[in-house]
Structure 1
Amino acid sequence: MKVKTKRKVPYIEPLQQTECGVCCIGMILRYYKSYQTMQELREHLDVGRDGSTLLQLKQLMDKLNFDTKVYKSSAEGLKDIKLPAILFWDNNHFVVLEKISEKYAVILDPGYGRRKISFKELKETYSQYALSGQPNEKFMPKKKGKSIWFDFIPIISSKKSLYIKIAIFSIISYFLTLGMPIFIQNLLDSVMLKKDINYVRDSTIFLGLFCVVYVLFNYIKNTNLIKLKVHIDKNVNSTVFGHLLRVPYKFFDIRNKSDVLFSANSCFVIRETFANQMINGLIDCGAVLFISYYMYKQSVLLALIAFLIFGVNLVLVALTQPMMFEFSKYLLSEQSKVQGVQVESIFSILGIKMSAIEDDIFENWSKKYGSYLSKYNTKERVNNYVNTLISFIQVVSPVIILCVSISIYIKGYVTIGQVMAFYSLSSTFFSLAHSVFNTWTSFVNSSVYLERLGDIINTEKEDDSKSLIKKDITGDLKLENVSFAYSSKSEKVIKNVSLNIERGQKVAIVGKSGSGKSTLAKLLVGLYSPTGGDILFDKIPLNKLDKKYLRRQLGIVPQDVSLFNKSIYENISMGRNDIDMDKIKKACEITQIAEEIESMPMGYHTIISEMGMNLSGGQRQRIVLARAILNEPKILILDEATSSLDYINEKQVSDYFKNIGCTRIVIAHRLSTIIDSDMIIVLDNGEILDYGSHMELLKRKGQYFKLYQANFNNEKEVHESVAV
């Protein structure tokens, strides 16, 4: 079977930080006119947060019925490889090689789009390995699925009455617009025949009333259009943001936060495209057909000339549209990167200032912004050429029609009224045709934004089935051979961990950096699901519990906390009506933050800036601790969460949670905070290396002994502790 191919390799933009390999496979599939979605390819490959290897890409292409081969070659050797091929790039990336010659190469970089690079740059950046593959006899290209627009139609079509009103008033307005030339035709023909001044006067009055009615109907249409825009905006934004809040934590873990923000803010495209373009576009199509029929009935010759010019316009748009669509993809990708640098810089401004790297950050932003401007300039220049040509056709076409109609008027085939009507209608015809082309182009280009929004709404939400158990837990927690890997292709970061934690116990988890402590904490609160084993709360497996209901009974205080752009009072109470100011003050006194809050001009009503950036790290941490005290969680996870407290207050907080029977799991970096733990677990490379009390572990002189020794840097103190 001969497989059809495209003229060029289509570009696919990555929406996850580590999916450049998946994008490359997607581009090659589309080159062979097979339209697997990115979601389908992600499910096949399961990239996770660590990316993919060339071997994994080969295995996926084999699975998709490609005959593949991995080459180890120099840049010169790439000339003998069947293209397109996937190249290992700069030792950390994948690109598609589309074309190569003695002087240059054309690559599709998932991060930057199509690039023409010198052979020298190819030699410097190509990392010796290439994957080439061609479809075999079992290959069956997948047809295009439904348009991404269909995912949004149920969201925006609930107010059918508004659409009907807008359609009715739009149709009436169009008929009034089209009726004007016909009325003028009859007026001119009648005046030429009757030469009656009274008829002219009556016709002028009628024309005035005609204009008033036209303006009135247009006003009503536009009023309803505004209502529709508000309705679409509300529905789309509510749906997208509501869905975004309910997707699994993994979604955010493998995506750039600024990319997610950029995608969520793309909702305006649906409002503008659907409200402005779709309804008008459909009515414009109807108007074009109506005018075409009327012109054909009036003069076949003039109608055929108009249709021929329309055909030239259509071919021009069809030829340039794929190129403009690709430009739109590049531009959107660059725009997202520029915003990413800006957002990252604003939230990291303290580190930037402390490191005095403002110039470096600005240079990085300038490069990305320069790349954006370059692509914007290219797109607009091409757009300008196309629009100039279309505008020229639009202006010249009625003149051509007028010249031809005058010549046939002289021969007596049409009346002067028909000449004027045809000229006026042809102007409207070409204007509406241009509008139809613009609508088509807008819908195609807006698909770039919709792909990003689709990435959000097509991601499955966390399981919130009614069959899940809503249980008030006591604080007993058990882990049975729990393992976890970020993807099915990556190594396990938690390996066969078994624990039995009883209600009210204080359990500490220690280990070197990267040993899996924070990952284990996220597993315990259900942010990740184990890939093996079970986590049980009061003997009930986590996957059978309603996670939302469960998390309301859990507390987690991370080392690096962020707060909401609300008052301190609201950040602590979190909307609970059963909490009064006295309780909040008491919680703040326990966490040693009350005095600092009360010294602020607005006290507990002081507004915290975004992410809590107007407070110190210690203040943010203590506010979150105060929130945890008020919530009285059954299980509390503390990730070095008391580092901002002195010893007395740290003990006060610890005793408070102990007295209410709260199970505490402490991820410790400062070992002095965990000496009184009921059990200390030593984690190494995702496995439990040792466990026991502080004294038991010191006596064994294992990994904990070394950590404790390094922590205090006082071997004598350690030996004295062991002797005691």
Structure 2
Amino acid sequence: MTTLFKRRVPFIAQMEATECGAASLGMVLAHYNCHVPLAELREACGVSRDGTSALDIVKAGKVYGLETKAFKGDVPALAEVGKPAILHWELNHFLVLERFDSKGADLVDPAVGRRRVTTEELSRAFTGVVMCPKPGPEFKKREKSGRSLGKYGAAIRAALKPARMMLISALVLEVVGLVQPALTQVIIDFIIRPKQDRWLMPMAVVFALTLLLRALLSLSRERILAGLGARADLELAVDFLRHLVTLPSSFFSQRSVGELSSRMQVLLRVRESATAIMLGGFDFVLIFAYGALLIAYAPKLGLMVLALVAARIIVMLSFQPALRLHATAAQIAGGRTQSALVSAFSDPESHKAFGAAPLLFARWAGAQSEELNASIRGRQASEAPQQIISVLDGLGLALVLWFGGKAVMADEMTVGVLSSFVAVEALLRRPSQGFVNMILELGRLPSKLDRVDDVLDTAPQRHGTFAPEQLIGSIQFENVSFRYGPKSPVILDKVSFEVRPRERLAIVGRSGSGKSTILKLVLGVLLPTEGRVLVDGRPVADYEPAALRRRIGTVLAGGTFFDEPVLENVALGAAQADVDQVRRAADAACIDDVVRALPSGYQTMLRGGARQLSGGQRQRLLLARALVKEPDVLLLDEASSALDRELESRVHSYLDVLECTMLLVAHRPSALRLAERILVLDKGKIVQEGTALSLAKVPGTYADLMAQGGDA
């Protein structure tokens, strides 16, 4: 009996694969009535791009008062451990063990929900690492915080526009629909029975016109709602994207493109759910209105029908928790499929070159199979309540005909009233189904909101409002340290240096030493964990980001091209640039002649990341994009690495006469000739500083790099 009624572990879905440890800890905490938001747990566990470790989970649990025993054991040992326990799974995942017996285990997987596995499956996937958290003396319960409706304001407003129209049209349709039962009663009781045949044809025409009017109203409603819904979705998508682009880079580093794309779709479904819920409220009112009418027709029979409607609603409520879990699992699986698809088509040439197509197909097929299985499980779970409801509907009609027929035979009811009663009872099914759909949407909505909350609850990156027309060009780093997360490795460690206005500074070092991170800190794309980054004596955080970046030309590794003409791609970030400015920038980057030779010149569309161009041509277009701004500061990350010596020399001859501050990351000695001074980074620290000539004369990291041909 104790086992039967033992408290179940609440399910918390992970938003990304890296969050499984944080979500598992959250489920254990919630089991002990300490409800902590996943975003907070992500910080406590130090979730980074690489996920989290068992030690991080133990330390995070201690913050909330959990005392955790961690050990390695085999499958039989799981019978003795305290439940719930956190298991390490398939070498790259964490989940919660809820129950264990001789036949297998009940797991709560943050990726897919509850599932039962056999002992054989457990033996294959369980790595042996077990964590058993229990409340300690410092443990404190925490109530589950309610959702603030304010952040869903855009979705609610978007839902209201079509909902208002739907409510008005539904009211009109229901009124027109009620005319039909009334006409049925009149035709049977006052025309057919008394044999008033002269009224039969006019009433039949009125009945037909009523049906036609209802059909026309329904058609008009659907057309209007389609337009309103599309406009509402557009407004909602714009608001969502506007918030998304303000989020810090750390948010995107932990989430895949496919996942973010799927959350946009989830948000649009939230709008649809909100509309359905509002209409469900109207349907609830209709249930009472129709119920009152049925009771007026036949009190006992009307109450019987309402009891069956209540039974229908109870059935759906009882199945709601299971349906919610299946909905969450299907959404997560859909996000993975989307992500796998994006990865498969992101760089098809490289995939073919490395023979990776079969592997990518296998990954997508696995994700697609998981999504289909989740969808099938969801449909199977919803089949049982649907069949029960069908039985209840049939039972309702049978009871109406049985008791109604007896009432007619006893002269307690006319045939017309019975026919009208049956018609109203049929009309009652639609609002009762709408009300049930509202209950279903209420069940699905939390899982949708959890995924949207991951975006909406993330605060935009802080920034100031200072927006200078020009920059002097001085840059200072004061004891700057940077890491992606509290538990992540240090990328930069107390770095300090100064760049004078119009000075050209090169940064060299082995891969992973933090060179590109310095450029991103200057741009304000990343914010320092410690210390300050100053531009013209002001912290980067004081600047309005767009204003700062308008005065900084940038070529970062992996620059992006859009499916737009060459002209638009080069002028990106310089909205006021005209054709002549774009051509001058392209000429300076030694790409003007290549562009002019394209079929439509500067109006040629770039497709698929400008794949019709070579790597060197794409790199020169990125340089032209940086130069078209006529920047005060120029940041170059391997901006000429794909160029041959002759082209590189021509590009450098232009850069050499630019009157702007320049920070360049480079490995090739030829690129370093632009620099007046060189900083050498190693493991996030500045280990050498000087000119190319002076550094080459002393042993050290710089000399080692140059001895390797400058390659890192």
User: If the length of structure 2 is used for normalisation, what is the TM-score?
Assistant: 0.92
Q: Distance in 2 between matches of 1:327 and 1:14?
A: 14
Contact 1:309 1:397 (C-alpha < 8 Å) held by counterparts: yes
CA distance change for structure 1 residues 662 and 229 in 2, over 3 Å: closer, same or farther?
same
Q: Distance in 2 between matches of 1:657 and 1:6?
A: 72
Contact 1:676 1:694 (C-alpha < 8 Å) held by counterparts: no
The amino acid across from 1:179 in the alignment is V
The amino acid across from 1:518 in the alignment is S
The amino acid across from 2:358 in the alignment is D
SS, match of residue 609 in structure 2: helix
Q: Distance in 2 between matches of 1:55 and 1:85?
A: 15
Contact 1:6 1:32 (C-alpha < 8 Å) held by counterparts: no
The amino acid across from 1:647 in the alignment is R
**610, 619, 622: which is aligned to 1:621?**
619
Shifted more, 496-505 versus 387-396: the winner is 387-396
The corresponding residue for 1:287 is: 286
CA distance change for structure 1 residues 338 and 154 in 2, over 3 Å: closer, same or farther?
closer
The corresponding residue for 1:609 is: 607
CA distance change for structure 1 residues 575 and 364 in 2, over 3 Å: closer, same or farther?
closer
**Is residue 2:588 matched to residue 1:587?**
no
Contact 2:179 2:210 (C-alpha < 8 Å) held by counterparts: no
The corresponding residue for 1:168 is: 168
CA distance change for structure 1 residues 150 and 218 in 2, over 3 Å: closer, same or farther?
farther
CA distance change for structure 1 residues 345 and 290 in 2, over 3 Å: closer, same or farther?
same
What is the Cα deviation at residue 150 of structure 1? 6.0
Shifted more, 284-293 versus 134-143: the winner is 134-143
The corresponding residue for 1:235 is: 235
Q: Distance in 2 between matches of 1:369 and 1:164?
A: 38
**Is residue 2:104 matched to residue 1:83?**
no
The corresponding residue for 1:720 is: none
What is the Cα deviation at residue 408 of structure 1? 2.4
The amino acid across from 2:389 in the alignment is I
Q: Distance in 2 between matches of 1:319 and 1:449?
A: 20
The corresponding residue for 1:245 is: 245
The amino acid across from 2:260 in the alignment is V
What is the Cα deviation at residue 410 of structure 1? 1.9
Q: Distance in 2 between matches of 1:564 and 1:363?
A: 29
The corresponding residue for 1:411 is: 410
The amino acid across from 1:130 in the alignment is V
Contact 2:248 2:460 (C-alpha < 8 Å) held by counterparts: yes
The amino acid across from 1:246 in the alignment is T
CA distance change for structure 1 residues 415 and 33 in 2, over 3 Å: closer, same or farther?
farther
Q: Distance in 2 between matches of 1:483 and 1:5?
A: 52
The corresponding residue for 2:329 is: 330
Q: Distance in 1 between matches of 2:221 and 2:540?
A: 54
SS, match of residue 18 in structure 2: coil
What is the Cα deviation at residue 406 of structure 1? 0.8
Identity among equivalent pairs (%): 26
* Unmatched runs of 5 consecutive residues or more in structure 1: 714-724
Q: Distance in 2 between matches of 1:5 and 1:605?
A: 70
Q: Distance in 2 between matches of 1:329 and 1:291?
A: 35
CA distance change for structure 1 residues 50 and 355 in 2, over 3 Å: closer, same or farther?
closer
Contact 2:474 2:500 (C-alpha < 8 Å) held by counterparts: yes
The corresponding residue for 2:643 is: 645
Q: Distance in 2 between matches of 1:15 and 1:544?
A: 32
Contact 2:34 2:140 (C-alpha < 8 Å) held by counterparts: no
What is the Cα deviation at residue 432 of structure 1? 2.5
Q: Distance in 2 between matches of 1:141 and 1:248?
A: 29
SS, match of residue 691 in structure 1: strand
Q: Distance in 1 between matches of 2:595 and 2:363?
A: 39
Q: Distance in 2 between matches of 1:642 and 1:701?
A: 27
- 1:457-496 Cα offsets, whole Å, 9 max, x none, are 3322233554x45463111101111111212233422111
**515, 518, 523: which is aligned to 1:517?**
515
Contact 1:6 1:31 (C-alpha < 8 Å) held by counterparts: no
Contact 1:561 1:617 (C-alpha < 8 Å) held by counterparts: no
What is the Cα deviation at residue 577 of structure 1? 6.1
The corresponding residue for 2:318 is: 319
SS, match of residue 428 in structure 1: helix
The corresponding residue for 2:38 is: 38
- 1:31-56 Cα offsets, whole Å, 9 max, x none, are 44554332233344442334323233
CA distance change for structure 1 residues 205 and 469 in 2, over 3 Å: closer, same or farther?
same
The amino acid across from 2:380 in the alignment is R
The amino acid across from 1:296 in the alignment is I
The corresponding residue for 1:140 is: 141
The amino acid across from 2:493 in the alignment is K
Q: Distance in 2 between matches of 1:5 and 1:235?
A: 47
SS, match of residue 593 in structure 2: helix
Shifted more, 291-300 versus 185-194: the winner is 185-194
Contact 1:21 1:57 (C-alpha < 8 Å) held by counterparts: yes
- 1:99-153 Cα offsets, whole Å, 9 max, x none, are 2223422323333443433334434443333222244685324235137x76334
Contact 1:32 1:141 (C-alpha < 8 Å) held by counterparts: no
SS, match of residue 688 in structure 1: strand
Contact 1:34 1:144 (C-alpha < 8 Å) held by counterparts: no
Where does 1:492-531 land on structure 2 (aligned, <5 Å)? 492-531=490-529
The amino acid across from 2:589 in the alignment is T
Q: Distance in 1 between matches of 2:170 and 2:642?
A: 65
What is the Cα deviation at residue 523 of structure 1? 1.4
What is the Cα deviation at residue 576 of structure 1? 4.6
The amino acid across from 2:69 in the alignment is K
**Is residue 2:222 matched to residue 1:222?**
yes
The corresponding residue for 1:273 is: 273
RMSD: 2.8
What is the Cα deviation at residue 161 of structure 1? 7.1
Q: Distance in 1 between matches of 2:316 and 2:497?
A: 66
- 1:363-383 Cα offsets, whole Å, 9 max, x none, are 222222222222222222232
**685, 690, 693: which is aligned to 1:692?**
690
- 1:514-572 Cα offsets, whole Å, 9 max, x none, are 11112222212111111111111111111222222111111221232221111111111
Contact 1:509 1:682 (C-alpha < 8 Å) held by counterparts: yes
SS, match of residue 114 in structure 1: strand
The amino acid across from 1:596 in the alignment is V
Where does 1:31-110 land on structure 2 (aligned, <5 Å)? 31-32=31-32, 34-110=34-110
Q: Distance in 1 between matches of 2:39 and 2:74?
A: 34
Q: Distance in 1 between matches of 2:324 and 2:150?
A: 19
Where does 1:437-448 land on structure 2 (aligned, <5 Å)? 437-448=436-447
SS, match of residue 561 in structure 1: coil
What is the Cα deviation at residue 72 of structure 1? 3.7
SS, match of residue 61 in structure 1: helix
SS, match of residue 363 in structure 2: helix
Where does 1:160-199 land on structure 2 (aligned, <5 Å)? 163-191=163-191, 194-199=194-199
Q: Distance in 2 between matches of 1:6 and 1:684?
A: 55
Q: Distance in 2 between matches of 1:489 and 1:77?
A: 31
What is the Cα deviation at residue 634 of structure 1? 1.5
The corresponding residue for 1:346 is: 345
The corresponding residue for 2:594 is: 596
The corresponding residue for 2:381 is: 382
CA distance change for structure 1 residues 217 and 355 in 2, over 3 Å: closer, same or farther?
closer
Shifted more, 52-61 versus 489-498: the winner is 52-61
The corresponding residue for 1:207 is: 207
Contact 1:629 1:657 (C-alpha < 8 Å) held by counterparts: no
SS, match of residue 384 in structure 1: helix
Contact 2:87 2:131 (C-alpha < 8 Å) held by counterparts: yes
Q: Distance in 1 between matches of 2:642 and 2:115?
A: 50
The corresponding residue for 1:310 is: 309
The corresponding residue for 2:25 is: 25
What is the Cα deviation at residue 17 of structure 1? 4.2
The corresponding residue for 1:532 is: 530
Contact 1:284 1:435 (C-alpha < 8 Å) held by counterparts: yes
- 1:641-679 Cα offsets, whole Å, 9 max, x none, are 111333344344334334232211111122331144211
* Unmatched runs of 5 consecutive residues or more in structure 2: none
Counting matched residue pairs gives 708
Contact 1:5 1:33 (C-alpha < 8 Å) held by counterparts: no
The corresponding residue for 2:366 is: 367
CA distance change for structure 1 residues 160 and 309 in 2, over 3 Å: closer, same or farther?
closer
The amino acid across from 1:567 in the alignment is P
Contact 1:85 1:98 (C-alpha < 8 Å) held by counterparts: yes
